[in-house]
Amino acid sequence: MAIQLVTDQLSNVLDDTFRSQLVGNFKAIENALNDLDAAQTTLNSGQDKINHDFKNIKDDNKTRDANVQAIVNILNKYDVPIQIANGKVVEIKEGE
């Protein structure tokens, strides 16, 4: 939304027209600032949600990695040739 302020059309005389033009300008500026404030609040809320979701993903990844490591450890106890290499579970040859 474009805001049109009265600028070079301001009256040269300090009369009611001049006052009305100034008041109109201030109201337009106030509305624009309020819109910006509301938009900033919405952005902050969205950023908070993104940060919360990202934290949950990181926590889920840590839990998954710990579970995979636990499974590999259990399988190693039973001499299953398996290990984690480069973040992946891989089968290993006997003697490695």
10 within some domain: no
69 within some domain: yes
96 within some domain: no
So what's the pLDDT on residue 55? 97
83 within some domain: yes
Under 8 Å between Cβ of 25 and 3 = no
75 within some domain: yes
1 within some domain: no
Tokens of 8: 């070079």
- In terms of residue numbers, what domain contains 79? 16-91
Helix residue ranges, H only, the chain: 16-77
11 within some domain: no
pLDDT tens per residue across span 46-94? 999 999 999 999 999 999 999 988 988 888 887 778 777 777 777 777 6
CA distance 67 to 48: 29
- Nearest CA to 72 out of 52, 48, 92, 56 is that of 92
Give the chain's domain count.
1
86 within some domain: yes
Q: What is the pTM of this model?
A: 0.55
